[in-house]
Structure 1
Amino acid sequence: MRDLLHRWLRNWRSRSALKKCAAISRLALDDAEAALVDAEKQASAFIETVSAAAEINSQDGTVVEQARQVLKERTTALSLSLQMEISTLRTALARKRNRADYFTVTLFGQTMAGKSTIREAVTGGDGTTIGKGGQRTTRDVREYQWQGLTIVDTPGFGAYEGTEDRELAFSTMDESDVVVFLLSSDGVQKDAFLEMAALNRLRKHVVFVLNVKHDLKKLAKYRRDFVSDPSAWMGDAAIQPHRNRIASLVRVHAPWMAQKVRVVAVHAQAAWMARQPEYKAEASRLLAGSNINQLLHLLEDELHLHGTQRRVDTIIGGTERALTFVSERVSVVSTSFREEAELMEEKHTELKAKLDDFIGRFPERCRTAVQEHFAPLEKGLGKFVEDNLRSSEFDKRWKARVAELKTDAWVKQYADDIAGELAAIVREFWRQVQVDAEFTTEFHGAEATSADPVDWQKMVRRVGIVLGVAATVLALTSNPAGWAVGIASLLTGITSFFVPGKSDAIKKAKEEARTQLAAQIEQNAAEVARSLQDWFTREIEEKTIAPLQSDIVGLTLSIRTLAGAATKLSATICAGRDALLSRHPIPSPDCEPQTLAPTP
């Protein structure tokens, strides 16, 4: 009668605790889903902002087309990542709502550590699943009920097909309220503790259970010795070295738990055997020696004393982690955008100074270059007149001399040289930007890219086409052959006054010819220089440099807009998260909750 009353009381306490857990779970879920909806609205507004900011209105095409395209790809990747994270959180909350009436304990550990044996001992199983760790399949996440608790037996990790088992085991963790981390006395391996990092990220409450591996079924003597004196295997002297080993590994691999390590030693096989008919005579001593009741009472206390807080931790904690993750990732992007905008502004200031110098020096450079081009023609002018003035082939010889200058080719080459200098200046600008900034479409990895942020070669090709067309127009305008013929015709008229024997007249004619030719050369040199200057102003300054600088300013402004939008989104998500936590506080993972979570 006494035992029956005790069981009834335990069941009543469990039902009462579950009702409170269910109520606080639904309240927490409502608030978590509201926070998710708000975050989704903010993310949608952000996506609209970044989509608009990634567009640049160029004046006549753009010489930073690829930079704009990469920026679009980057913001698209960011938008997709946000949508994916929000969708993942929505799915997680939906699963948790389906489990609002449950308090879940997950058995977690390496394959063959004894999880199934413990579960069978607790739930009164027939033992058919014991020892099947090496035969796991994706269907082997199993749930069982005991005293109001939902016990989940997950596949182990670390054995054959361990990767699949590990992923399957972790897939249930987010919905768990308490994790029983099972270790085996026949080998407390540090590899098992490498999984603790994931448990820390999930902020799960962990109970360490050491399963003492001493096969009581192998020999009857082993069983008799155990029931006679279980302390030989379960006493402090036998267990303390294992506790020390576990504590040491926790300090190394899970330091956030070092101050609250709880290790419960059990003999899972003895606990299971105590429920089997063939061991009925020794059942009470097997059960007592197994120490399974200490673990069961601890799990009951988790429900009765800490159930509502654990439920809040599971629901709100998961939402808080997801929102924090999104906020931090967006914050990283914001910082990256801001630094890139600052870099662009710094480098653009340097570029503008170089371009201003390039433009300012061109008139004098152009005049000097044209003068140097025509200098050979002017330098030999006196001798040419002396040798050819009275020749009937003066016109032909002058045309040949003018043709030797190859002015058409020189004009095109000079234009190409100017284009090359401009391309080199801009190329160096983008090279420096590339060295210090990472234009990448990756939102999660944020890895450097080996590609130029802007296809400067495309810009160079565009400049070359512009300059090539302009050079052709310039050659037609200056028409050096045309002015050469004009001078020759003029000189033909002069020579008609020349008569043999009149030395003074001949001398005067030569001087006049030299003067007129020199003046004509100077005039045409000035025309070539003026045409080049007009071309430079129109094609280089107005159609190439001005749009380039305008696009760089626009690109920088877009990046700053993105940085501002990302900063605002990160802050808004943080504010929503903090408001959620103010309604449903979550204790630090370093301390135990001292009070129950508030009930609705």
Structure 2
Amino acid sequence: MPQSSARLSARSERLGRVALEGSVVRCRRVARESFAATQAEFARMERALRVFDAELEKVARLELGRHSHEEVRKAVTLLLEQKRARIKDRFKDLVEAHELRRQQLDSFTVLFFGKTMAGKSTTIEAISAGSGNTIGDGGPDYTKKVEGVSCGGLLLVDTPGLLGFRRELAGVAESYVTRADLICMVVADEPIEPELFERMREIRGQHKRLAVLLNVKAANRRLLSGDLEEAWDAREVGEYVELIRLQLQAAFPGDEVPIIPYCANVAFEAQRAEDPDWRAFLWKHSRIEDVIRVIANTVTQDGLAIRATAPFDALGWFAQSIAEELEEDLPIFRRQLPELRRKQGEAFRRFERVIADSATELSQIKGHFLQVNDQLYDLAGEIIRGERSESPNKAFRRICSWNVVQEKARAYQQGVIERLQRNVEDFRDALQSDLAALVQIEAELEDVVTPEFESQDWKKATARALRVAGRPLAGFGGGAAGGAIGLMLGGPIGAAIGTLLGAWLFSSGVETVADEFDANAERELRRQHRSLREAMQNQLWSAYRGLNDRLFDWTKRAAEKTGRAVGEFLGGLGDAIDGLVRATGTLVDTLHRSRQSLARGSYRVLLSQCHPAFRTGKVELVDATQWMRYRAKLRVRCPDGSSPIGLVVGRGGEKLRALRAHTGTPIDVVADAGSRTTRAMVVEALRPARLDPGAISLGHTISVQANGPLIGAIRGRRSRNLLLAREILGIEISLVTKAWAEPRGSR
């Protein structure tokens, strides 16, 4: 027989092609039926993800709110775009995986994972009687393209370029896992890194059968030299098997994963041997038949259940993983909303306080006028008696010390602006810190660039508000001094402050008072001391009131405009976060509904394939929900009204164990009581917590009294157990600690 024909014949025999043929055909049929049944749920998830992206785009443009500050847009864009990009990637993974699943409905896919040089390609070449062209030289291979080898109704797929479990390609690995019906994790008899099993735990996700292939390279040289006695060191191989078993128990507690020692290269060399006896020797002692037997048994014994549930579980896993990722962010974003509202109220109070404090600071200017007022009596007398050589106008100007008033007013204005600036900077720093934290959580990176939320943005916004506040004071001159102060402060806000201080309101106002004194008051003041003093006092306090009113009005406008700008900024940011929360919450709710619907479909076909009580109609599935790799809950009933628990669980729990071997998750069974919810149903739904029925109160919602460790058992990991119980019962469940419940009961 020619060598190529011998290889083909050997391949058929090795895989038991005749025995597999009927199983593969049946698997193909149920795979198509299940895939068709998932199309409606896939369309719903697709729509929900598209709506989510559109909503975040609106939030990014701030169309959900009434604010349109450029600074707000800059502050939230990074956060929103990261979220959009991440969910877009997950959506792309979902679509690609779904399409791959559609393309491979007719093949039972066996996926080989492992590090470079572990023996993945060699194993596939040996099983498929290949030429060896796909076997690498050990160099790094980063291609993301995966080619499968068709073999006896199976598709044997290698995963080059992933190095088995490189984190940066975890998404690619997950998409390959989605298309797999059986995962063969190939490890060599080298130092075994626990991280490999952790990476496999991360990407396995769905209900995927797993087998570990231990490629014993130490047997290679010995077997090829014909040394059968020294080829397999039972103690050494046993130590590797035990080490792998411990790692599996840590990564997949409760799963029974087979571990098969073999020698991949010897199996491959067997099919290249010219001598039939030598070929048979190498093939037999490579132990590759043990690997083939595991693959064949998986197809013939469990293939129908695997292929029937795979489309449901693939979509369900995506719904679960995306929802879980979004749910981790929701509490953080929700906590931001009241904090932003609190900051808005604080902003209002702070800038109101600036106005209130201005009264105290203006009193310092008033003190100067009081001192001048006391000196006016002597001045009036000196003028009447002719003891002044200077004109009354000059004397009045000198004693009033208008330059001192001007400096005090200037210092007051500068102090107000500095307080406004400090308040603005305080809010800027607080919000910058908050946003940086949010972005870091979203990015999940160690080195996160601080959002483009720098002081220049705030300074521009504040400068605009202050310029608007200062407009009524324009036209009083003094720009040179203001420009100098602006240079001293620096930046856009410094320029704005300089403009305000430069628009000096006092230089023209008080000088006008002096001119009026020259024109009207001098003749009257000479007639009598009292009239002169009163006239000067009237002019003095008229000037003070005008200055005080203008400074207070300027302060009020500046503080209100600046406070309004900060408040609107906070409001715009609150609108953006609120829009993100609402969009995320809507998507999460939809994904949870899809997850439960897909779980219902998955268990319906699984139970009809694997459980005799459901296959014969003795027990009916009312509802099902699950959180993959954690727990599942089934709500069941018997048409004749008898208890379904014994039929479902089996003697000693054997039937549930058989289901767990497929799903990889514990299963809780709830006996349906019709339209009403009973305490017994609640007890069963909240397992593994051991509840006393007396601690349960039934009503529109269910209240469960608990305390201590029992609360943790009821909630489960990340409150998933409580979530699943609510879903399977279709009613809200609230926990009440005994410390709170007992006083109410005592009354």
TM-score (norm: length of structure 1): 0.80
User: 2:298 is matched with which residue: 285, 298, 302?
Assistant: 302
* CA displacement at 1:579 relative to structure 2: 0.9
- Rounded Cα–Cα distance in structure 2 between residues aligned with 1:213 and 1:562: 54
* CA displacement at 1:37 relative to structure 2: 2.4
Choose 1 or 2 for highest CA Rg.
1
* CA displacement at 1:99 relative to structure 2: 1.1
SS at match of 2:505: helix
Which AA in structure 1 matches 2:450? Answer: T
Question: Are 1:518 and 2:514 matched, yes or no?
Answer: no
- Rounded Cα–Cα distance in structure 1 between residues aligned with 2:50 and 2:158: 40
* CA displacement at 1:177 relative to structure 2: 1.7
Which AA in structure 1 matches 2:420? Answer: L
Query: Could you say which residue in structure 2 is the equivalent of 1:106?
Result: 111
Given that 2:109 and 2:180 are in contact with CA atoms closer than 8 Å, whether structure 1 keeps it comes out as yes
Relative to structure 2, which stretch is displaced further, 487-496 or 18-27?
A: 487-496
Given that 2:197 and 2:248 are in contact with CA atoms closer than 8 Å, whether structure 1 keeps it comes out as yes
Distance change in 2, residues 1:353/1:306 (3 Å)? same
* CA displacement at 1:148 relative to structure 2: 1.9
- Rounded Cα–Cα distance in structure 2 between residues aligned with 1:139 and 1:331: 30
Given that 2:340 and 2:574 are in contact with CA atoms closer than 8 Å, whether structure 1 keeps it comes out as yes
SS at match of 1:180: strand
- Rounded Cα–Cα distance in structure 2 between residues aligned with 1:138 and 1:77: 26
Q: Cα deviation per residue 1:385-430 (whole Å; 9 max; x = unaligned)?
A: 3444424622233234446435455444433322222232333233
User: 2:512 is matched with which residue: 482, 500, 514?
Assistant: 482
Question: Are 1:371 and 2:366 matched, yes or no?
Answer: yes
Given that 2:79 and 2:439 are in contact with CA atoms closer than 8 Å, whether structure 1 keeps it comes out as yes
Q: Cα deviation per residue 1:271-301 (whole Å; 9 max; x = unaligned)?
A: 3454445331244444433332222121011
SS at match of 1:260: coil
User: 2:547 is matched with which residue: 513, 523, 528?
Assistant: 528
User: 1:41 is matched with which residue: 47, 71, 77?
Assistant: 47
Given that 1:373 and 1:405 are in contact with CA atoms closer than 8 Å, whether structure 2 keeps it comes out as no
Query: Could you say which residue in structure 1 is the equivalent of 2:97?
Result: 92
- Rounded Cα–Cα distance in structure 2 between residues aligned with 1:579 and 1:266: 42
For structure 1, the residue ranges without an aligned partner over 5 or more in a row are: 498-508
- Rounded Cα–Cα distance in structure 2 between residues aligned with 1:495 and 1:153: 109
Given that 2:262 and 2:288 are in contact with CA atoms closer than 8 Å, whether structure 1 keeps it comes out as yes
Question: Are 1:383 and 2:383 matched, yes or no?
Answer: no
Q: Cα deviation per residue 1:461-496 (whole Å; 9 max; x = unaligned)?
A: 234424544444682797111112222444421365
Distance change in 2, residues 1:246/1:382 (3 Å)? same
Query: Could you say which residue in structure 1 is the equivalent of 2:614?
Result: none
Question: Are 1:348 and 2:344 matched, yes or no?
Answer: yes
Distance change in 2, residues 1:40/1:477 (3 Å)? farther
SS at match of 1:278: coil
Query: Could you say which residue in structure 2 is the equivalent of 1:405?
Result: 403
Question: Are 1:18 and 2:24 matched, yes or no?
Answer: yes
Q: Cα deviation per residue 1:145-190 (whole Å; 9 max; x = unaligned)?
A: 333222123438769xx99999988774442221222233365555
Trace 1:91-490 onto structure 2 (pairs within 5 A): 91-126=96-131, 132-134=137-139, 138=143, 141-155=146-160, 172-185=176-189, 188=192, 193=197, 195-201=199-205, 204-214=208-218, 222-223=225-226, 225-226=227-228, 233-234=231-232, 236-237=234-235, 239-251=237-249, 254-256=250-252, 259-276=255-272, 278-311=274-307, 314-362=310-358, 364-365=359-360, 368-389=363-384, 390=386, 391=388, 393-402=391-400, 404-405=402-403, 407-408=405-406, 410-438=408-436, 443-445=442-444, 449=450, 452=453, 455-472=457-474, 475=505, 479-490=509-520
For structure 2, the residue ranges without an aligned partner over 5 or more in a row are: 1-8, 476-503, 607-625, 631-656, 664-747
Relative to structure 2, which stretch is displaced further, 406-415 or 585-594?
A: 585-594
Instruction: Indicate the percent of aligned positions where both proteins have the same amino acid.
Output: 20
* CA displacement at 1:100 relative to structure 2: 1.2
* CA displacement at 1:101 relative to structure 2: 0.7
Given that 2:41 and 2:594 are in contact with CA atoms closer than 8 Å, whether structure 1 keeps it comes out as yes
Given that 2:185 and 2:210 are in contact with CA atoms closer than 8 Å, whether structure 1 keeps it comes out as yes
Given that 1:70 and 1:440 are in contact with CA atoms closer than 8 Å, whether structure 2 keeps it comes out as no
Trace 1:3-82 onto structure 2 (pairs within 5 A): 10-53=16-59, 54-55=62-63, 56-57=65-66, 65-82=70-87
Question: Are 1:568 and 2:586 matched, yes or no?
Answer: yes
Q: Cα deviation per residue 1:182-214 (whole Å; 9 max; x = unaligned)?
A: 233365555754643444346642211222335
- Rounded Cα–Cα distance in structure 2 between residues aligned with 1:550 and 1:272: 72
Which AA in structure 1 matches 2:35? Answer: L
Given that 2:112 and 2:120 are in contact with CA atoms closer than 8 Å, whether structure 1 keeps it comes out as yes
* CA displacement at 1:365 relative to structure 2: 3.1
- Rounded Cα–Cα distance in structure 1 between residues aligned with 2:170 and 2:568: 54
Relative to structure 2, which stretch is displaced further, 44-53 or 261-270?
A: 44-53
* CA displacement at 1:38 relative to structure 2: 1.5
Distance change in 2, residues 1:334/1:382 (3 Å)? same
* CA displacement at 1:102 relative to structure 2: 0.7
- Rounded Cα–Cα distance in structure 1 between residues aligned with 2:172 and 2:196: 16
- Rounded Cα–Cα distance in structure 2 between residues aligned with 1:269 and 1:9: 18
Distance change in 2, residues 1:264/1:400 (3 Å)? same
Q: Cα deviation per residue 1:502-529 (whole Å; 9 max; x = unaligned)?
A: xxxxxxx223322221232122212222
- Rounded Cα–Cα distance in structure 2 between residues aligned with 1:130 and 1:48: 46
- Rounded Cα–Cα distance in structure 2 between residues aligned with 1:8 and 1:249: 31
* CA displacement at 1:51 relative to structure 2: 4.5
Distance change in 2, residues 1:373/1:551 (3 Å)? farther
Query: Could you say which residue in structure 1 is the equivalent of 2:617?
Result: none
SS at match of 1:97: helix
Given that 1:183 and 1:209 are in contact with CA atoms closer than 8 Å, whether structure 2 keeps it comes out as yes
Given that 2:144 and 2:160 are in contact with CA atoms closer than 8 Å, whether structure 1 keeps it comes out as no
Question: Are 1:492 and 2:522 matched, yes or no?
Answer: yes
SS at match of 1:209: strand
Which AA in structure 2 matches 1:519? Answer: N
- Rounded Cα–Cα distance in structure 2 between residues aligned with 1:81 and 1:191: 25
Distance change in 2, residues 1:367/1:288 (3 Å)? closer
Which AA in structure 2 matches 1:458? Answer: K
Aligned residues: 567
* CA displacement at 1:269 relative to structure 2: 4.3
Which AA in structure 2 matches 1:300? Answer: A
SS at match of 2:252: helix
Distance change in 2, residues 1:48/1:83 (3 Å)? same
Distance change in 2, residues 1:258/1:423 (3 Å)? same
- Rounded Cα–Cα distance in structure 1 between residues aligned with 2:14 and 2:242: 39
Q: Aligned Cα RMSD in Å?
A: 4.1
Which structure's relative contact order is higher, taking Cα pairs within 8 Å and 6+ residues apart? Answer: 1
- Rounded Cα–Cα distance in structure 1 between residues aligned with 2:341 and 2:170: 49
Given that 2:337 and 2:578 are in contact with CA atoms closer than 8 Å, whether structure 1 keeps it comes out as yes
Distance change in 2, residues 1:382/1:577 (3 Å)? same
- Rounded Cα–Cα distance in structure 2 between residues aligned with 1:19 and 1:488: 115
- Rounded Cα–Cα distance in structure 1 between residues aligned with 2:158 and 2:629: 24
Distance change in 2, residues 1:71/1:475 (3 Å)? same
Given that 1:36 and 1:86 are in contact with CA atoms closer than 8 Å, whether structure 2 keeps it comes out as no
Q: Cα deviation per residue 1:116-150 (whole Å; 9 max; x = unaligned)?
A: 44333322235566674449684995533333222
